[in-house]
Amino acid sequence: MASKNLYFIGLFFLVAYSAHTQSIRSSYDVTDSSLIPNRRMPQHSEFLSGKYNFPAMPRNMWEFGIKVGHMDVSGDIPSRFTPASFGAHIRKAFGYVFSLRLEYMYGLGRGWTFNRAENFGKNTAWARNGSAATSYSAPYRIPGNPDRTVSSLNVHYGAPANTPREFVFYNYRTRIHDLHLEGVVTLNNIRFHKAKTGVVLYGFAGVGGMIYDTKVDALDGGNRKYNFATITPNNAYKTRKDTYKALKNLLDGTYETPAENQGPRRPKLFGSTLKPSGTIGMGVAFRVGRRFNIALEDRHVFTKDDLIDGQRWQEHAYGDAVLTGDFDSYNLVSLNLNFNIGAKAVEPLWWLNPLDYVYGELRNPRLMNIPKPSLEDSDGDGVINQFDREQTPAGCPVDTHGVSRDTDGDGVPDCKDKELVTPTYCQPVDADGVGKCPCPTCETCPDLCKGKPSIQCESQLGDLPSITFPKNSARLTNEAKTLLNSVAAKLRNAPGCKVVVVGYCSSSKQQQQLSWDHVNAVINYLVDQQGISQDRFIFRYGEEGGDCDTVDLRAASADEEGPNMVEPPHPRYRKSN
């Protein structure tokens, strides 16, 4: 039976995989008002107008399914493979995860036992038709074992007291109709890295009712009891397979005798026993198209009844039968063909991913409330109002944020500053940006200190750094730019001082030109990037006594003069900065 079940499951997955190779379409258009039921139109209207963040849930199709499969009864008698069950269901989604399903199932189950039963006297089906046994109430001595007796023993009707015990082989056929209302939870349709899935897993549980009618094959075609003695009495001499084969040849399969049932103690419907029941199960469905999918499902049904297989007695050797004390249940494995029904509706919601709209809107906004860009520039400073932090007067230079430039940081914008660069030691300044230096001292007012200008510049500028270039290159490194930034800061605080920029090496035309490139790169950076006047530099290159890849900076002495710019000596050897 297990191998046949595996064959059935394997065949299903083969068909499902071939169907699933079709493409998966994207989700529905959330702006389509024809998909929204009337009761949700207010929410839909607010969503489209931007007053509500969540789209209304669309009208979605009903699912109608038919199924075929195999029912397996878990009871006292082993079940046989019987692929003769079928059913139908209708299902409706109440969200992307939860749905309700009403399901009907007809199941046909059969079973045989390979163990012979001797204490069948309490089973009404077999006691009535299988043996017509009588009971000896006096102690009975077991043949071949004079030391052992039993108080009661069923033997052949009218047979002598030492006749061997009669036995039967239990069998049954049961027909079950059940109806269940089930809650179904979809486990994997909400995806974070894919718009939709073509395979959904789901679990379900529900309650309902079932009716069953069980019969046994106890009589042959002539309404006579079977002579099970034709099957080897001692099972030790035959395998289970041999026993089943002998039973198959012996039994005619008419199942004419009603099995033991609950009688009037339980309600009846259409002459069959009616019982409440509960069900749980799992399934996997493969999307074939917008209106069709196939699924494999396993459903287990619990019943508080021990007579679904027609047997509730447990055998005791040379003794009476007793109740087993457990209840029967049954399992249904089915192949489902599901159809989506409905017009002007999306697929059932368990096939849709609610995140599809969210990700789509983030990637290509259609309904998102995005502020319209404003390109207006009220103050005409070249920075639009949306990014302008200050409304500046016309003609005032500004930075990238629209704020007036203040080169010396004295709090007066350059457009109103009459002293564009005021040393820090001469601040604070007046309304015109003019500072008042704490004179007269050599350190704060170098122009007033006669006879010691060089000493004052060296004191104010301090030791200036050397700038190192990569080998055979005139490119300033980030480290060199950082050092030059500190030089610029010192020059701003010493407006009366000049700096000599010295490059080295002149043994060849290439070295002379490279020395010139190094000095030129340093002066250009301080002038162009830091705003220092070029008049404050003395340009010297091709000097001896230094490293060819190094430029030295020092404060100029009082009487030291020199050009602030020199033509390149050998332009064809120039290095790019």
pLDDT tens for 488-526 read 999 988 888 899 999 999 889 999 999 999 999 999 999
Q: Which domain holds residue 26?
A: 2-114+169-219+255-363
pLDDT tens for 100-142 read 999 999 999 999 888 877 777 778 778 765 443 333 333 433 3
Please tell me whether residues 389 and 531 are part of one structural domain. no
Please tell me whether residues 55 and 194 are part of one structural domain. yes
Tell me the pTM.
Answer: 0.57
Q: Which is higher by pLDDT, 87 or 19?
A: 87
For residue 245, the model assigns a pLDDT of: 84
pLDDT tens for 253-281 read 888 888 888 777 777 787 788 999 999 99
Q: Is the pLDDT of residue 410 over 50?
A: yes
pLDDT-derived band at 65, boundaries 50, 70, 90? very high
For residue 452, the model assigns a pLDDT of: 47
Query: Which tokens in the block code for residue 437?
Result: 């230096």
Please tell me whether residues 407 and 467 are part of one structural domain. no
Q: Is the pLDDT of residue 24 over 80?
A: no
For residue 50, the model assigns a pLDDT of: 85
3-state secondary structure of 363: helix
For residue 186, the model assigns a pLDDT of: 95
Q: What residues does 107 pair with on adjacent strands?
A: 176
Residue 120, in any domain of the structure: no
For residue 321, the model assigns a pLDDT of: 59
Please tell me whether residues 304 and 406 are part of one structural domain. no
Task: Mark which of 363, 392, 422 sits at the end of a domain.
Answer: 363
Please tell me whether residues 9 and 100 are part of one structural domain. yes
What CATH number does residue 270 fall under? Answer: 2.40.160.20
Residue 192, in any domain of the structure: yes
Q: Is the pLDDT of residue 209 over 90?
A: yes
For residue 384, the model assigns a pLDDT of: 81
For strands 145-150 and 268-269, give the pairing: unpaired
Residue 157, in any domain of the structure: no
Q: Which is higher by pLDDT, 270 or 201?
A: 201
For residue 447, the model assigns a pLDDT of: 54
Please tell me whether residues 464 and 412 are part of one structural domain. no
Task: Please state, in angstroms and rounded to a whole number, the distance separating the CA atoms of residues 471 and 511.
Answer: 12
Q: Which is higher by pLDDT, 263 or 169?
A: 169
Per-residue pLDDT averaged across 149-168, rounded?
46
Task: Please state, in angstroms and rounded to a whole number, the distance separating the CA atoms of residues 206 and 221.
Answer: 43
Task: Please state, in angstroms and rounded to a whole number, the distance separating the CA atoms of residues 531 and 491.
Answer: 10
Which of 114, 51, 125, 41 lies closest to 79, judged by CA? 114
Residue 370, in any domain of the structure: no
Q: What are phi and psi of 535, to 5 degrees?
A: -65, -15
What CATH number does residue 503 fall under? Answer: 3.30.1330.60
Given a contact cutoff of 8 angstroms between Cβ atoms, the answer to whether 515 and 542 are in contact is yes
Task: Mark which of 363, 389, 422 sits at the end of a domain.
Answer: 363
Please tell me whether residues 175 and 195 are part of one structural domain. yes
Integer angstrom CA distances of residue 224 from 52, 120, 131, 220, 250? 79, 17, 10, 5, 13
pLDDT tens for 374-384 read 677 777 787 88
For residue 320, the model assigns a pLDDT of: 57
Start-end of H helices in 62-197: 124-126
pLDDT tens for 367-404 read 877 777 767 777 778 788 777 788 888 878 888 787 87
pLDDT tens for 435-483 read 776 654 455 555 555 444 445 788 788 889 999 999 989 999 999 999 9
Crossing angle (nearest 10°) for helices 478-492 and 453-461: 130
CA 564 to chain centre: 68
Please tell me whether residues 563 and 501 are part of one structural domain. yes
For residue 175, the model assigns a pLDDT of: 95
For residue 397, the model assigns a pLDDT of: 85
Which of 263, 249, 81, 261 lies closest to 169, judged by CA? 249
Q: Is the pLDDT of residue 22 over 50?
A: no
Please tell me whether residues 519 and 545 are part of one structural domain. yes
Please tell me whether residues 488 and 551 are part of one structural domain. yes
Sign of CA dihedral 410, 411, 414, 419: negative
- Identity of the residue numbered 456: Q
For residue 10, the model assigns a pLDDT of: 53
Q: Is the pLDDT of residue 423 over 60?
A: yes
Mean per-residue pLDDT of the chain: 81
Residue 163, in any domain of the structure: no
What is the total count of domains within the chain? 3
Per-residue pLDDT averaged across 52-80, rounded?
92
Please tell me whether residues 358 and 409 are part of one structural domain. no
Show contacts of 88-93: CB within 8 Å, 24+ apart.
88/64, 89/63, 89/64, 89/65, 90/62, 90/63, 90/64, 90/65, 91/62, 91/63, 91/64, 91/65, 91/184, 91/348, 92/62, 92/63, 92/348, 93/60, 93/348, 93/349, 93/350
Please tell me whether residues 410 and 311 are part of one structural domain. no
For residue 363, the model assigns a pLDDT of: 84
